[in-house]
Amino acid sequence: MADFRILDKDLDRLSNAQSAGLHSARPVVRLGIAVLFVALVAVALSGGPLGPAAPGVLIAAAAGAGAFLALSIGANDVANSLGPAVGAGALPLGAGLAAVAVMEVAGAVLAGGQVSQTLTHGILAAEAMTSGAQAGVVMLAAMLAAAAWITLATWAGAPVSTTHAIVGGIAGAGMVAFGAGAVNWGGVARIALGWVGSPVLSAALAASVLALLRARVHRAPDRLAAARRWLPWLVAAMTALLLVYAASFLPLPGWAVAALALAGTGAALWDTHRRLAAPPDPRLSENKQLNRLFGPPLAASALLMGFGHGANDSANIAGPLAVIAQAGSVGSMGALSPWLLMLAGLGIALGAALFGRRLVRMVGSRITRLSPVRALCVSLATAVTVLTASRLGLPVSTTHIAVGGVFGVGFYREWEERRHRARLAPLPVEERRRRRLVRRGHVVRTLAAWLVTVPAVAALAALIAALIG
């Protein structure tokens, strides 16, 4: 018997050593999958939709850079969709990553074309875009610079904007290749105006939704009953918005879009009513039961936001690749290849699954503490803002908008706290600082990252374009 016990111990040691080895090898496996994806995309596109137009070296380099950029966007920007939901505990990280990845691909394929058109036409003049291989070099330099910058930001844990990076890269490389006069400064100003206005709009929407939910649910005499009455309609409204938005890009008549929206809205309303009708758990406090009721609408808002992110940020890859594909024939860029949009969406989804966990936790828990209701406000405001911008063909920063929503919720809570404290004795300065709900250090760090991204990537893209040229 002693021999068998010794054998069991030895087997346990071997099992523990194997588990430790597998755990330590996970980063290497993720990196290997990413490298394999980049290589496969470069090989596939060299003989695919880019093949007849541009030199083989340019095609392979552009395809590899596009795949790398898609992985970097997924790793950095998945925090926008999942950060609030995971930070509030409404979604597990693994299942949330898988669900949002599917929505990213759907958003890219169905609604990614309009923003891609803005990137290919709105930053550089048409004469520059018809210069053949030289325009391809500009786009290649922009993608390489943006991918390098975003990878550095992901490693540093800074939620920078991929849209800022690609726009800055195109402008910087374009100035080196064609001169400053080739840059469409009016188009760049329009994009920059969207960058300034979109986070402010997201913050205002998030604060407004929070104020509405506090008035209708949290201050109701029976909060659980109020939540069961209002939340299904909120989920139904989000479902209708997603279905109408996605169906508007399909060749469907108006009555078919309306019927699809009504059917989806009814199904969502029934399912949410069913989920929220479960009897209360007597072991949980009222607050914990109320937070659990916000799980279904919070999950729905994360999926809606993933769709919007795919629709907007897939253009950062598909747009530059489309320029190289057309080899200067700007007039034929009207029909962007769905194949390129699907490739961009798949790359973003894979990057999110492989490398997105770190920033999900950062956005979801380190800026301000998020309960399910506050996380719902952030996700819903961000999704509506991004979808509106995508419909207008405006390339906005989903990171910018998501973090703006988080700040809006935090600052609203601080304002509400100050209003409540105004009726009481004033607190010392040190105590007022301790009670701040938004960490000012994260605000300054995020704003600094946003401000530095455009000039830094523009300079890097200019250098790469000069070396290639």
pLDDT at 352: 79
Indicate the burial class of 459 (C-beta count within 10 angstroms; 0-12, 13-18, 19 or more). middle
Q: What is the mean pLDDT of residues 61-90?
A: 73
- What is the pLDDT of the chain when averaged over all its residues? 76
**Residue 290 to residues 82, 236, 295, 437, Cα–Cα distance (Å):** 21, 19, 10, 22
CA distance 345 to 292: 32
- H-run or E-run covering 153: helix 133-156
Q: Which of 116-120, 371-375, 430-434 has the lowest mean pLDDT?
A: 430-434
- Of 159, 69, 143, 134, nearest to 362 by C-alpha is 159
Name, in order, each residue with C-beta under 8 angstroms of 175's C-beta and a sequence gap of 6 or more.
182, 183, 458, 462
What residues are paired with 183 via a beta bridge? 124
Q: Is the pLDDT of residue 403 over 50?
A: yes
pTM summary value? 0.79
More confident residue, 80 or 238: 238
DSSP 217: I
Q: Which of 2-6, 227-231, 289-293, 376-380 has the lowest mean pLDDT?
A: 2-6
- Percent of the chain residues past pLDDT 90, beyond the cut: 5
**Res. 28 pLDDT band, cuts 50 70 90:** low
- Percent of the chain residues past pLDDT 70, beyond the cut: 73
pLDDT at 130: 64
Name the residue ranges covered by the structural domains of the chain.
Answer: 28-468
pLDDT at 81: 67
pLDDT at 443: 66
Q: Is the pLDDT of residue 23 over 50?
A: no
pLDDT at 333: 43
